[in-house]
Amino acid sequence: MNPTKVVRQKVQKLTDLPNIGVSLADDLRLIGIETPKELEGKDAFELYEMLCKKSGTRQDPCVLDVFMSITDFMNGSEPKVWWDYTQKRKASYDLGKKR
């Protein structure tokens, strides 16, 4: 969902989260996340690595940006567009190595 349209009190399904559409909701289900509440306290980097392993392919780094946006949101931050996380991801994560 577009972050400007997210209403925290109405977030019940994965596609209610900022930056999450049907495809990314399916990716979250693939790694065992069925509801937004299950993202509370999760590490975006670990979720990304789980998805890469489970899917058998390295996912686009922008997926990590999205995971950063939704974990931050579920931990109390305001909804933000995924690209607001790109610089933070680039500064803290080498996609060729595990943290």
Closest CA to 6 of 53, 15, 16, 65: 16
| Number of independent structural domains in the chain | 1
- Domain range for 23 is 3-92
Q: Quote the CA–CA distance of 99 and 83 in Å, as a whole number.
A: 21
pLDDT confidence bin for 12, thresholds 50/70/90: very high
Alpha-carbon distance 48 to 67, whole Å? Answer: 7
* Percent of the chain scoring above 70 in pLDDT: 94
Handedness of CA 29, 9, 16, 81 (dihedral sign): negative
Asked whether the predicted pLDDT for residue 75 surpasses 80, the reply is yes
Average pLDDT over residues 58-75: 97
- Decide if pLDDT at 98 tops 60: no
The pTM assigned to this predicted structure is 0.92
* Whole-number pLDDT of residue 96: 55
* CATH code for position 72: 1.10.150
* Within-domain flag for 62: yes
